[in-house]
Structure 1
């Protein structure tokens, strides 16, 4: 049984263009964007208020492209895109998207990196992507320089994103320096793309663990992003029109290195003429101050932010949040009880959820303002088809029956860079074509209005999601095994009030360590992870020493048995999680 968007969901007015860059799509009204004259300033710093008009933002992108061409020796229509790759390792700034689109203007590729990465993790991404330059910011410069050196990027190819609220003066070239250089340079020649090049050519290399294994570079084409911006915006246009909303102010807190922040917030917001209020990271008072100061209407968040608001109700009450009309949560499911508690605090808000993944770049289904069913992730986006299959691969045709979600969409990505095996494992082919295997278990239900809604029941894949960030157990296990006190190990997720999920390790110690105290070994192993991994990968769920790691005859770790063991232990301890 193939599932489709509800009848009320508008069809895309035309096929997403396949021969232009994302930047051209964003700045050309012919493709359906909000008229520039009616658009708000696309990106505004939520701390200083610094901003640029839409036209100024486009000019900065063009000047950046000219400066990159001069500094890097790149030309728009010369050499392969793989010779023109930049890494971006920075907090959100108002120039983040212009930097990304500047390299696209030269027919290059951008690879955004998680700001929480350690130097070793960033170095891996820079090497894997083939980055020739790195844009970063002062608070993480030390990490960036160490990674750049390891990846062979010279210091004169490291550029600084301007954080107006950061007082330390950089000694490296800044984005503003590059823009000043670009203004003095001649115009670039136009890109000469062939038919279908936008569908074939990679725009972003974003890193994901897919359905299992270590992080892999997901090849996201220009058309993938263009398609999803259209899908998400046309879906949302129905509710906005009924609410009398033309343009609005939305929150730009989610990291633009994450596919949710990159496509749903940064690109979709600007394309429909909204103003995106940029915050570098979540700090409760700054977040609340920004909502009050800029009268933000649309909050795009992750579940831990909702949980933090609920745990700090007295703080929230000190701020005027009456401008908010819609809160959208993604990256991980938000429980029905959590949403209901939030609505008791803010009864006039509409709260919805959506579902997507890096490999679908981004939105697969989302919630309409007119058809909210708490606990579900809403209905399919335009031009999206879905199937649900059981463990034997047979199609499920009944509602309320769990199975793995398969999807087709023009936003589904090209595959994984230099990893044919992982790409092959991510897709399945049948008489209806090529389907992305999400690795997520869902049930399909009907809302009171008769629309099909998708609820994410559980992840079939082994990923752990900490505040929406993906953590691969295999990566942590490989690192743990380098410690002398670890003979064998397995990592699972355990529930956490603040972060949603956190990693927990089960460790088998070697006989040579039998005389050592568990407390001492536990402290050493925890420190071993903290010294080398991003903070969201730390073993906040703890370490439990056991005699043997359960495995199948083929050697596969049976994490399901460990999760069952953990649930039973928590039940006996009276935990509600």
Structure 2
């Protein structure tokens, strides 16, 4: 059975397939909000430095000219794989102009996680075939080591400025050109020839090569086409427009445009598409912060009167555990939050709602391989724990482990997706591509179910990663469910749950917990309190029979996804040393 978006959703407009993302974002011909009436797209949350849309358009063109001269690139010659540029950066107001300048030349931007070590970055640079690397001063040493391993010479490493609050008094070495210098150089260079793309070229041409963390092994390069990003930008805006229009009609004080938070890593698909393309396309302003620190985050909300927060669950947990700090700031401008990248449990959402009763607490779901959002809640149809309604242009199916169609609501199985935003595949990995993309469908590896919500619309509920489900005597236990419940306990600041081997049950749940400041007593007493919290509310097969282990920090990706494989590796090593079952 194929599930479709709600009938009340507007139809998806035509998706251009013969232009690059840069043209789609900078040319009013393709339905975007007028450049003159939109808010400034990118503003630094520290310095206040900002660009108008006309300044962004000029910077993209000047930078593209300079890159063309620097590398000998012609917009209409060669393939995109001759023009791959690595981008290893903290968030900046110049990141998207850099990406769009690369696209103006029919090149590929491959953004890298700013938390990468040199070997991890070197893998991405080598695997992608990057010819140059843009970075920033705090990441320069890692960049130099990785570039040397990947064969990128020093004169192909470029720096982007960051606010002094991040760099302090440190100065960029003079031997490295900066993005600003390239822009100035481009001002006096001749105009580039216009792109001459044929119909369908936007569907075939990779724009971004983002690396998916996966559940094991080295990250895989996900080939995201220009049309993929354009499609999802249109899908998100088409989906959100009715509720935005209705809320403005009910309260004329609500502006047509949002002032939104740009805190999440621009290298991650969530921020890359949802925050940095969808928002600016409709005219929103994005307040860019290079990294999360609670005081600077809250100060930016207060200073710029941010009304829309795009977050991940760890930031929400930090807020809930830092209510004394929250009281020092004026957060009255906030109307809504949107959370994704990892599940936000219904209990945590309710706790946040109790703290901020006027906020619309929304959640969405997507993957790098769907570039990005496939379902989301709207302010008018919120159901805590749900990932919301299917977006226009998306189709979904649910399959049993045996591959049979599930036709009933409230019945979990693997989620399959079809959408114009589904990507081209994995770079140089035919096996993984064939396993994930079959017969026009993307196999997500996520267990999900369809449920009818309070507004009588179909909602997608994500249960967990199929490979991470714990099987206790044949019964499935979702780590995310237990984690959401554990976070309700005042002694738990953060947590993760994995399955560990057990002779009788096959597997049993074990919790790794970061204790909250409120945790009192010795570890044994805290352990018993946490276990009792689960036993009082959950079925017996979900009890923490594997025990509780205390950690200083739960390993997570920058987007907030729990890296359970690292915890499983830690557990295996402990069991190996103890001579236990692996």
* Shift in alpha-carbon separation, 1:400–1:115, aligned structure 2, 3 A: same
Shift of 1:57: 0.7
**Secondary structure, aligned partner of 2:50:** coil
Shift of 1:27: 1.1
Matches within 5 A, 1:216-231: 216-231=220-235
Shift of 1:504: 10
What is residue 378 of structure 2 aligned with on the other side?
A: 368
Q: Measure, in 1, the Cα distance between the counterparts of 2:33 and 2:258.
A: 12
Shift of 1:427: 1.9
1:208 aligns with 2:217: no
What is residue 569 of structure 1 aligned with on the other side?
A: none
Q: Measure, in 2, the Cα distance between the counterparts of 1:138 and 1:202.
A: 28
Quick one: which of 404, 422, 434 aligns to 2:414? 404
Q: Measure, in 2, the Cα distance between the counterparts of 1:37 and 1:389.
A: 48
C-alpha contact (below 8 Å) 2:28/2:34 kept by paired residues: yes
What is residue 47 of structure 1 aligned with on the other side?
A: 46
Shift of 1:242: 1.0
C-alpha contact (below 8 Å) 1:361/1:411 kept by paired residues: yes
**Secondary structure, aligned partner of 2:194:** coil
What is residue 338 of structure 1 aligned with on the other side?
A: 348
1:163 aligns with 2:140: no
C-alpha contact (below 8 Å) 1:504/1:539 kept by paired residues: no
Gaps of 5+ in 1: 465-493, 507-525, 552-560, 563-577
What is residue 68 of structure 2 aligned with on the other side?
A: 69
Shifted more, 28-37 versus 344-353: the winner is 28-37
Shift of 1:191: 0.8
C-alpha contact (below 8 Å) 2:265/2:559 kept by paired residues: no
What is residue 546 of structure 1 aligned with on the other side?
A: 575
* Shift in alpha-carbon separation, 1:364–1:155, aligned structure 2, 3 A: same
Shift of 1:162: 1.0
Q: Measure, in 1, the Cα distance between the counterparts of 2:409 and 2:341.
A: 24
Q: Measure, in 1, the Cα distance between the counterparts of 2:305 and 2:32.
A: 23
What is residue 6 of structure 1 aligned with on the other side?
A: 6
What is residue 448 of structure 1 aligned with on the other side?
A: 454
What is residue 249 of structure 1 aligned with on the other side?
A: 259
**1:318-348 Cα distance to aligned partner (Å, 9 max, x none):** 1000000001110011011111111111100
Q: Measure, in 2, the Cα distance between the counterparts of 1:411 and 1:84.
A: 23
Q: Measure, in 1, the Cα distance between the counterparts of 2:309 and 2:576.
A: 47
Q: Measure, in 1, the Cα distance between the counterparts of 2:5 and 2:230.
A: 19
C-alpha contact (below 8 Å) 1:116/1:534 kept by paired residues: no
What is residue 197 of structure 1 aligned with on the other side?
A: 201
1:392 aligns with 2:406: no
**1:339-370 Cα distance to aligned partner (Å, 9 max, x none):** 11111111000001000000000001011111
What is residue 459 of structure 1 aligned with on the other side?
A: 465
What is residue 444 of structure 2 aligned with on the other side?
A: 438
Aligned-pair RMSD on alpha carbons? 2.8
C-alpha contact (below 8 Å) 1:211/1:438 kept by paired residues: no
What is residue 35 of structure 2 aligned with on the other side?
A: 36
**Secondary structure, aligned partner of 1:111:** strand
Matches within 5 A, 1:115-134: 115-134=114-133
Shifted more, 539-548 versus 219-228: the winner is 539-548
**1:427-452 Cα distance to aligned partner (Å, 9 max, x none):** 232xxxx1100000011101121100
Gaps of 5+ in 2: 249-254, 471-484, 502-550
**1:225-258 Cα distance to aligned partner (Å, 9 max, x none):** 0000000111111111111141110000010100
Number of matched pairs: 498
Matches within 5 A, 1:341-352: 341-352=351-362
Shift of 1:300: 0.2
**Secondary structure, aligned partner of 1:234:** helix
1:180 aligns with 2:184: yes
What is residue 324 of structure 1 aligned with on the other side?
A: 334
* Shift in alpha-carbon separation, 1:394–1:534, aligned structure 2, 3 A: closer
Matches within 5 A, 1:83-122: 83-122=82-121
Shift of 1:214: 2.9
Shift of 1:194: 1.2
C-alpha contact (below 8 Å) 1:211/1:462 kept by paired residues: no
1:232 aligns with 2:236: yes
C-alpha contact (below 8 Å) 1:502/1:539 kept by paired residues: no
| Normalised TM-score (structure 1) | 0.82
Q: Measure, in 2, the Cα distance between the counterparts of 1:330 and 1:459.
A: 15
Shifted more, 30-39 versus 370-379: the winner is 30-39
Q: Measure, in 2, the Cα distance between the counterparts of 1:268 and 1:498.
A: 33
Q: Measure, in 1, the Cα distance between the counterparts of 2:345 and 2:148.
A: 44
* Shift in alpha-carbon separation, 1:550–1:101, aligned structure 2, 3 A: farther
| Normalised TM-score (structure 2) | 0.81
